[in-house]
Amino acid sequence: MAGFTDKIKRFFGMQTPLDGGLFDDLTDLLVEGDFGAAEAFGTVETLRALCKKRKIDTAEAARDVLVEILTGDLCFPAPSGGNSAGNAPEGVRVEPGKLTAILLLGVNGVGKTTTAAKLAVRYRDAGSRPILAAADTFRAAAVDQLKLHGERTGIRVVAHRQGGDSAAVIYDALEAARAGAGDLVVADTAGRMHTKAALVEELKKIDRVIESKSAERCLKWLVLDATTGRNALVQAETFHAAVRLDGVILTKTDSTAKGGVVFSLAKSLGLAVVFTANGEKYGDIHPFDAASWVRGFTGLV
Ligand code: GDP
């Protein structure tokens, strides 16, 4: 929201001396930017201590210190198969001859189907041979939607009828890849898998399928809608606890300028954002860039 960006810019543009009141205002501002209250408080305490140590006394000068703290929050060792948020240039390097499966998880409406198509186009343009698996067999429109993307982009889509078994769709897509048609399967999955038990069961089944088709690598990426704010973190907690995620894709960043949830994902769940999506065109997906995210969040761009 423009309101948040304006506020943070105004805050850090101030030459006024830093005092307790200003730090309190910053805590409130971070919460408004989708930080959790405890995280906002902790971050401001760290900032306060560093400013004191370095004898920094204006809000403007304090911004550089905040940038340093937030950048540090986004740099952590890569989760298995994924990338660290600090250096995630391409999400995953698809190696010729090695079969990779990417499962896109998330609740309905976050942008999974759109993101599956965007990723397939991106990896195809980078030289790999993706196959799209229409494994969201639950939502009536999802299979047709993905097939349409296939027609538009020329990328093969493996689909069954609506209501079918999503693991079976992924099985067929992997088999097609193994038979020589591809080296990457990007699977759209059903958004209904929101309860932990159903999610675990479905994913276990898919895991078994992937194992049986000996994909070299399987990445579970959670798609989150940036406009849902703190609710995105709740979704991430549920999915991560259930199936152990490898990373996150944050969509609809064109609709919100808030970004605090990215820091919560990193700090409280150790989850990296791999890509951000900022529109509905195929090219509107970008590897996550921690430095520019921090700059944007702190009003530096
Ligand atoms: P799914 O239910 O998770 O598969 O979600 P869809 O892929 O069907 O997307 C839901 C809606 O969000 C659609 O209208 C998409 O066009 C839209 N959408 C997806 N990604 C983005 C994005 O990055 N920015 C914007 N503005 N809209 C998006």
pLDDT in tens, 254-265: 988 788 999 999
* Reported confidence tier of residue 88, pLDDT bands at 50, 70, 90: very low
Q: Looking at 95-104, 168-177, 248-257, which range is the least confident one?
A: 95-104
For domain 90-288, which architecture applies? 3-Layer(aba) Sandwich (3.40)
The CB of 259 under 6 Å from ligand 1? The reply is no
Q: Which residue has the tokens 């493996």?
A: 158
Task: Say what the pLDDT of residue 3 is.
Answer: 78
What single string gives the DSSP state of each residue in 239-299?
Answer: HHHHH--SEEEEE-TTS----HHHHHHHHHH-PPEEEEE-SSSTT-EEE--HHHHHHHHTT
Cα 44 to Cα 26: distance, rounded to the nearest angstrom: 7
Secondary structure (3-state) at 222? strand
Task: Say what the pLDDT of residue 8 is.
Answer: 87
Task: Say what the pLDDT of residue 64 is.
Answer: 93
State both tokens at 299.
């009003």
CATH number of 2-74: 1.20.120.140
Enumerate the CATH 3.40.50.300 domain ranges in the chain, comma separated. Answer: 90-288
pLDDT in tens, 33-47: 999 999 999 999 999
| Phi and psi, residue 246, nearest 5° | -100, -15
pLDDT in tens, 164-200: 888 899 999 999 998 988 999 999 988 765 667 777 7
* Reported confidence tier of residue 16, pLDDT bands at 50, 70, 90: confident
Task: Say what the pLDDT of residue 94 is.
Answer: 64
Task: Say what the pLDDT of residue 42 is.
Answer: 95
The percentage of the chain sitting over the pLDDT mark of 70, rounded to a whole number, equals 90
User: What is the residue with the minimal CA distance to atom 12 of ligand 1?
Assistant: 111
pLDDT at 86 over 60: no
Mean pLDDT, rounded, of the chain: 87
Instruction: Work out the average pLDDT over 272-283.
Output: 95
Ligand 1 atom closest to 116 (CA): 7
* Reported confidence tier of residue 270, pLDDT bands at 50, 70, 90: very high
Instruction: Kindly report whether the global pTM for this prediction surpasses the value 0.85.
Output: yes
Task: Say what the pLDDT of residue 249 is.
Answer: 96
Ligand 1 atom closest to 107 (CA): 3
The CB of 279 under 6 Å from ligand 1? The reply is yes
Q: Looking at 66-70, 91-95, 237-241, which range is the least confident one?
A: 91-95
The CB of 109 under 6 Å from ligand 1? The reply is yes
pLDDT in tens, 62-82: 999 999 999 999 986 654 444
Cα 235 to ligand 1 centre (Å)? 17
Task: Say what the pLDDT of residue 92 is.
Answer: 63
Task: Say what the pLDDT of residue 91 is.
Answer: 58
* Reported confidence tier of residue 161, pLDDT bands at 50, 70, 90: confident
Enumerate the CATH 1.20.120.140 domain ranges in the chain, comma separated. Answer: 2-74
Q: Which residue has the tokens 């990296």?
A: 272
Cα 145 to ligand 1 centre (Å)? 11
Cα 93 to Cα 291: distance, rounded to the nearest angstrom: 21
Residue type at position 149: H
Q: Which residue has the tokens 């299979």?
A: 143
DSSP state of 94: P
* Reported confidence tier of residue 87, pLDDT bands at 50, 70, 90: very low
Ligand 1 atom closest to 108 (CA): 2
Task: Say what the pLDDT of residue 174 is.
Answer: 92
The CB of 254 under 6 Å from ligand 1? The reply is yes
